[in-house]
Amino acid sequence: MGVPRSILRIPDFRRRVKLSKYQIDRLIFVTAQNFFLGHFKEFLQESVPFGVGYMAAYMRDQGENVRIWDLNVRSRAANDIAEATPNDGEGTVFGISCLTAGASQAHQFAKLIKEIAPKSRIVYGGIHPTALPEEAIEVGSADVVVKAEGEETLKELFRRWREGEDIVGMAGIVCRDDTGKIIHGPPAPGLIDLNDFPAFPYDLFDLSKYHLGMVLTSRGCPFDCIFCSQQMVTGRRFRYRHEQSVVDELEFLIRDCGQPSIYFIDDMFNA
């Protein structure tokens, strides 16, 4: 005769935490300034941040209210954050992207955001946070790190936040659980087709601040060069845009913006 379950009191290890819904009203992408380029920065032409730009285009296409703060062309202070984030930041998500050269400034800016807008949420992305997600959470005040290619992952993260669903263990992200432990979700499945993207959102930038002769026509690279960090984001998978979308962008840059020359900045070493 078995012992009644009520006597055994077998614990139920399933999470019983009731999560509140988070209404998202605005999404502000932030590109951190690359301070550690030092004197070399004056010799580099400032291009639009393509990673952030395509993320912004994708999320805007999903109906999000999107804007971009590129700290390389315009600094932002506490008053900028306060003006952009009513109600202590409630309903505001900041998406911070950084390279290693800009990680320190990204962390400082994230801390300032949390001081001015404590109810906002901060999501990190880009190569450096993908490589060191714990740093972004422990040092950079990140609520979530989106690893590798982030468009579909960010879309799903927003859906879960709005529905009040648990995000711990979600594919493609790193975050803390309710005990404070940092949990790594599994890799996000699949890669988005570049031809499903809307056009690059040049309208979100002050084009007078940039050199507009740079175009991205593909993502990824099938090779395994030891000096390259790109495979942390795209692996060894290569995808390209349809020819007509590239031609349309070239026509815009040359005819409408007066750009005399074009430089292709694809991930492929010999692109």
* pLDDT at 5 (0 to 100): 43
Report residue 114 as tokens: 């949390």
- Rg of the Cα atoms in the chain: 21
d(CA 71, CA 25): 22
Q: Give the CA angle between residues 97, 104, 101 to the nearest 5°.
A: 70
* Type of residue at 224: D
More reliable by pLDDT, 188 or 30? 30
Least confident of 1-5, 105-109, 243-247: 1-5
0.95 exceeded by pTM: no
Residue 155, Cβ neighbours under 10 Å: how many? Answer: 15
> Does pLDDT of 10 surpass 60?
no
- Taking residues 115-131, what's their average pLDDT? 95
Sheet containing 173-176, strands listed edge to edge, beginning at the edge strand earlier in sequence: 66-70, 26-31, 92-97, 121-125, 144-146, 173-176, 182-184
Task: Report how many helices (DSSP H) and strands (DSSP E) the chain contains, helices first.
Answer: 9, 11
174 DSSP β-pair partners? 145, 184
The rounded distance, in Å, linking the Cα atoms of 44 and 73 is: 13
> In this model, does residue 45 exceed pLDDT 60?
yes
Pairing of strands 173-176, 26-31: unpaired
